Amino acid sequence: MNISPQIWFLWTAKIIPHERTDWLAAMRAELEQIATPSDRSAFAFGCFKAALLESAQSRKGLSFIARGGMASLIFAGSIAVWLLWHAKMYAQPEALAISKVILPICLAYMCGAALLLTSLIGLKLYAAMGFCLATLSATYCLFARPIYMDLSSGFLTALSFKVAGIMAGLLFFGVFLSWLYNPDIHDA
Amino acid sequence: MTRNRAPSKSTCFVLSELCKEPQYGYALMKATDLKSGTLYPILMRLTDRGFLTASWEEPQSQGRPPRQSYQLTPKGRAYAEEALTINNGSTKKLRGVQV
């Protein structure tokens, strides 16, 4: 698929952060210096990638990542609830093994969330919502246990921890991205 | 929180080219063999840190848009010299750069 440089630049203009619009003009001007069509396309694609990176680095981009993470959490939570209703394939020892792995991750998640209270607004929201979801999920799974008689308490506990574990993974992915891409701390 | 990390090899290539003279983006791409997706983030970062100034220059031929030229600041030159000294072995081998 050969996308024309104009199309790449159209997308670049859409995603580049406002404070980088001067760079967009500079990149457009350089495109005019390139004669070969394939080189022009490659250059324009590179500019799009650069804009994508800048977008991810900006606060707006991080907030977007946080919101995307939240959407993923809700999706993962929905899957977990669905599993609670239907899954009966796990034995108790396996569930306990899962809980042993997931518990340290949950603790790390809580520490990470506390750390993020001083960080970017989107990630603050992420942390707060993550806490709520984890608490709700754990409470629901523990207290709803007698209703779903075929599922052992170990499995339910493990599942609630697993949900929190997914949250932890996504949270730390967000933290890692902010650490990696924050322009204030990023080395050239 | 600020991290002091040694500049990447790509950044060293850019710095070494800019040590010679101010350059345009496309000329830098050709001189360093870097792609635009790598070069521009480096230029942005160097400009943000005050190591580079970007200035618009009138085109040499009619019908062309003004171009942005990149020049090291005194702070950037000091940083470049330090960075190239640290990376002298590998950078010199690849680019023939001496500091």
Of B11, B44, B65, the CB nearest to A54: B44
The percentage of chain A sitting over the pLDDT mark of 90, rounded to a whole number, equals 11
Pure H helices in A3-91 = 5-15, 21-31, 37-57, 59-86
* Chain-chain contact of A183 with B36 (C-beta, under 8 angstroms): no
Contact, B45 vs A183, CB < 8 A? yes
Provide, as residue numbers in chain B, all residues whose Cβ is less than 8 Å from the Cβ of A183: 45, 48
Residue A146 has a pLDDT of: 47
State the pairing for strand pair B52-57/B67-72.
antiparallel
Provide, as residue numbers in chain A, all residues whose Cβ is less than 8 Å from the Cβ of B13: none
Contact, B33 vs B14, CB < 8 A? no
Give strand pairing partners of B53: B71
Of A27, A45, A53, the CB nearest to B25: A27
Contact, B33 vs B16, CB < 8 A? no
Strands of the sheet containing B23-24, edge to edge, are B23-24, B67-72, B52-57
Distance CA A29, CA A44 (A): 11
Give per-residue pLDDT as tens, B13-62.
999 999 999 999 999 999 999 999 999 999 999 999 999 999 998 877 77
Provide, as residue numbers in chain B, all residues whose Cβ is less than 8 Å from the Cβ of A54: 41, 44
In 3D, which of B52, B17, B47 has the Cα closest to residue B32? B17
Give per-residue pLDDT as tens, A141-174.
555 554 444 555 555 555 665 666 666 566 666 6
The four Cα atoms B86, B88, B89, B91 give a dihedral, to 10 degrees, of 120
Which is more confidently placed, A79 or A26? A26
How far off is chain B from A42, nearest CA to CA, in Å?
Answer: 8
How far off is chain A from B33, nearest CA to CA, in Å?
Answer: 12
Mean pLDDT, chain A, integer:
65
Scan for tokens 């929905």, then name that residue.
Answer: A78
Distance CA A60, CA B51 (A): 25
Residue A58 has a pLDDT of: 72
3-state secondary structure B12-49: HHHHHHHHHCCEEHHHHHHHHCCCHHHHHHHHHHHHHC
* Structure token digits, residue A135: 């608490």
Contact, B92 vs B24, CB < 8 A? no
Selection from A27-31, A118-122, B94-98 with the highest mean pLDDT: A27-31
Residues of B with CB under 8 A from a CB of A: 1-5, 7-8, 11, 24-26, 29, 35-46, 48-49, 51, 54, 64-68
Write out the H or E segment, with its range, that includes residue B84.
helix B74-86
**What end-to-end distance do the CA atoms of chain B give, in Å?**
31
* Structure token digits, residue B18: 């800019």
* Chain-chain contact of A45 with B26 (C-beta, under 8 angstroms): no
Tell me the angle at which helices B36-48 and A37-57 cross, rounded to the nearest 10 degrees: 40
Give per-residue pLDDT as tens, A50-75.
888 887 677 666 666 565 555 555 55
* Structure token digits, residue A142: 């523990």
Q: How many residues in chain A?
A: 188
